[in-house]
Amino acid sequence: MKHRVLLLGSGAREHAMAQALAASSSCAELFVAPGNAGTPGHRLNVDPCDTAAVVALSAREHIDLVVVGPEAPLAAGVVDALRAAGVAAFGPTQNVAQLESSKVFAREMADQLGIPAPRYATFARGELAAAQAWLQSFDAGVVVKQSGLAAGKGVVVAESRGEALAALQRLIAIDDVVLEERLVGVECSLISLCDGRTSRPLPIAQDHKRIGEADVGPNTGGMGAYAPAEVGYSADDLDKAFVRPVIEHLAVQGTPYIGALFAGLMLTADGARLLEYNCRFGDPETQVLLPLLSEDFLQLILRCVNGSLGAPIAVRNAVALGVVVAAQGYPAVQHGEVEVRSLPTPSPVLEVYHAATKHRHDSAQGPLVTAGGRVVTCVGIGASLDEARTHAYAGVAAVDFEGMQYRRDIGWRAKARAVRSYAQAGVDIAEGNRAVQLMKASVEATMTPAVLRGVGAFGGSIDVSFLKNFDAPVLVASTDGVGTKVELAARTRRLRGVGHDIVNHCINDVLVQRATPLFFLDYIASSRLSATDVAEVVGGMAEACKVAGCVLIGGETAEMPGVYRDGAFDVAGTLVGVAERARLLPESTIAPGDVLIALASNGAHTNGYTYLRRALEWLPLDAVPAGWQCTLLDALLVSHRSYLPVLAPVLAGTAVKALVHVTGGGLIENIPRVLPAGCAATVRLGSWPLPPLFALVREVSSLADDELHRTLNMGVGMVVVTARGDVDAVRKAIDEDTWVIGEITEGPCEVSLV
């Protein structure tokens, strides 16, 4: 049987739905009210919220089925009116649509059914004093929500108590409000189709609600999405926990839910929690979900309406990612009609869904113009998220209208979560350790009795007693490189800092043996030498050497076409210092009960960049995440600090038993390098403040704590080992903030994070 179908709505969601409905072999004719300039079918200028007009239209056009897109017609009771007139409708009735139109109603039902949710309180419109009192007494961050419909913009995720109070004062003058505990975790969208008795989920999607890159700025209706989202939960399990209890409860109550039920979820460390319900398909989630269907969309809708949903929904083995292109000023004021000069051509790997578009003067021959906030959604489809993203942004590149804005980072958190180990990013710490062991025999074959420390230590040490200013002078040498941080520096033309990086890294490596730096030699290799670039890098080296009282006595430059790609270069260097043999660190007196004191890093230093560049690849370098005072690029390229000036006073005394330079391998791999047999170390997570860069990485990363603290320094650049009785004196001698982060314990030579 073929059906005459009416779709209500006008956004990109409705364009995607209209396209899927029109493609069905069961669709005899499609009508869209009011639609937009891109929707297929007969477009009719009827307000979806005018229930009488919708019923009259359905009778006039002999409509068999009405599919409701947006939430406002549901709240207005359009489904009730249609069913009363004998017209089948996909969407819940006005009463159960309160799950979206009243957040108070939704929270109360979730409580009744035992659905996991954040702590919350509700307040009626105007109850400002009571709401303020609750907010002031609440012991966690707060989200302020307008209870009624607000087109996705009635939610304020407050960054401070003051921001929450301001949002509360504004929203409670409009409507009832819900104050909720601000949850931390991965947010995702679960949309299930429901036939009044049961539910079947679509793939999990992930929306990007904030207007700004790195998820900053005010909430919008959504600036992009992708699906399926790998979040550690199956769609079936989340459906059973958050959707099916509602469907079964409403069926028992005699008010069956027919339509799409959207559960916005936060996946916290304590499990999934309900953020909100929406009683329809999401926007922009629909735009990335419908291209993944491998079965007839209209037939799915009919199975819901007829109470015979049955089998799980069949989807393609593919990924879709959508980028919303919005008008200037969105989500605040838009600036009237703007001509759309060009749009991409849809293809098997690209869908282009119109939202706020129309033809000027309402003439099909008139130029295409913008008609509101979100203008189009470009959806890329591919075998992987990377491929889908490439197609989506290729589509965005073909969109052209004055003032257009879009986010360049859609999917960036998924990219970060997809890198599950440092080895997957391209660096295998374990393999590096194995290489050290394999080469150790060869290196040791060249040693003389004067060599005290060689491969595997922070730096090589050679007894050179002819230095008469010392009782028993020891030369301490360190050779190292800057690593893949140089790629970022080369790409952004920020070259001087890597000169600081290599010198300071080597200074710290000899400092941990209580050595004073003497001289430094550099090595710079590239595909083609640029005198200007070399001068910039060496200038940075000279600056760092001057601060340390170290002489830059020369180096080597190498031109290696075919080895390095054009524009790329590498930097390495060797630093030699001197120390008294009797004063070398680490001391043999390290024992259980000794204390670990941390000094802050000032960034990622020179380690972990292979992971950072890959994990944050889709976050623009000029983005300024929430709470930051600098761009991502500035945070990544801050120069590796030298600890010589701040540690010199305490190293002059006798309280320091060991120093640990936190380099590749992080706290996990580096602390054991100073431990004697029978000693282990315990490090207490949370005992030092996490700088913004590492807080962001921890938030978006899928790495376990051990892996994260092997990959990055996580805010600790140097660790001092001292006796418990000397802790206060050591901290007083160091002229900056320090933190006691753990202690030496009995056990095998390893680090435990607690």
What are the sequence ranges of the domains in the chain? 3-90, 98-417, 449-583, 595-753
Rounded Cα distance between 556 and 522, Å, is: 6
pLDDT on residue 743: 97
Eight-class DSSP state of 671: G
Q: Of 58, 100, 48, 106, which is closest to residue 83 (Cα–Cα)?
A: 58
Q: Are 99 and 105 in contact (CB under 8 A)?
A: yes
Rounded Cα distance between 267 and 233, Å, is: 9
CA 263 to chain centre: 21
Contacts of 565 (CB under 8 A, 6+ apart): 527
Dihedral sign for Cα 431, 433, 437, 439, please.
positive
Q: Are 257 and 246 in contact (CB under 8 A)?
A: yes
pLDDT on residue 537: 87
pLDDT on residue 481: 94
Q: What is the DSSP string of 541-598?
A: HHHHHHHHT-EEEEEEEEE-BTTB-TT-EEEEEEEEEEEEGGG-SS-TT--TT-EEEE
CATH topology of domain 595-753: Phosphoribosyl-aminoimidazole Synthetase; Chain A, domain 2 (3.90.650)
Q: Are 286 and 124 in contact (CB under 8 A)?
A: no
Q: Which CATH superfamily is domain 449-583 in?
A: PurM-like, N-terminal domain (3.30.1330.10)
Q: How far is CA 528 from CA 535, 584, 737, in A?
A: 14, 42, 44
Half-sphere exposure of 740 (CA within 13 A, CB side): 16
Q: Identify the bridge partners of residue 634 per DSSP, sorted by sequence position.
A: none
| Longest Cα–Cα distance in the chain | 107
Q: What is the pLDDT of residues 572-628, one digit of tens each?
A: 999 999 999 999 999 999 999 999 999 999 999 999 999 999 999 999 999 999 989
Q: Which residues of the chain have pLDDT under 50?
A: 432, 435-436, 438-448, 451, 454-455
pLDDT on residue 551: 85
Decide: helix, strand or coil at residue 451.
Answer: strand
- Angle in degrees, CA 60, 65, 68, rounded to 5: 100
Please name the helix (run of DSSP H) or strand (run of DSSP E) that holds residue 610, with its range, or none: helix 609-615
Q: What is the DSSP string of 181-197?
A: EPP-SEEEEEEEEEESS
Report strand pairing: 224-227 vs 206-207.
antiparallel
Task: Please state the three-class secondary structure of 550-565 as a single string.
Answer: CEEEEEEEEECECCEC
pLDDT on residue 449: 59
Token pair 């309160």: residue: 98
Q: Of 712, 600, 725, 710, which is closest to residue 657 (Cα–Cα)?
A: 725
pLDDT on residue 457: 55
CATH topology of domain 3-90: Rossmann fold (3.40.50)
Residue 643: phi, psi to the nearest 5?
A: -95, 0
Eight-class DSSP state of 642: P
Dihedral sign for Cα 577, 580, 581, 584, please.
negative
- Based on C-alpha coordinates, what's the Rg of the chain? 31
Q: How far is CA 706 from CA 414, 563, 678, in A?
A: 21, 35, 21
Residue 393: phi, psi to the nearest 5?
A: -75, -25
pLDDT on residue 558: 82
Q: What is the DSSP string of 275-342?
A: EEEESS--TTHHHHHGGGB-S-HHHHHHHHHTT---SPPPB-S-EEEEEEEE-TTTTS---S--BEEE
Q: Of 191, 190, 196, which is closest to residue 305 (Cα–Cα)?
A: 196
Residue type, 550: C
- Angle in degrees, CA 240, 307, 51, rounded to 5: 105
Q: Which CATH superfamily is domain 98-417 in?
A: ATP-grasp fold, B domain (3.30.470.20)
Residue 400: phi, psi to the nearest 5?
A: -145, 110
Both structure tokens of 291: 């291209």
Rounded Cα distance between 183 and 119, Å, is: 10
Report strand pairing: 340-342 vs 177-181.
unpaired
- For the beta carbon of residue 579, count every other beta carbon within 10 angstroms: 22
Q: How far apart are the first and last CA of the chain?
A: 64
pLDDT on residue 736: 97
Rounded Cα distance between 291 and 287, Å, is: 7
Residue 746: phi, psi to the nearest 5?
A: -80, 145
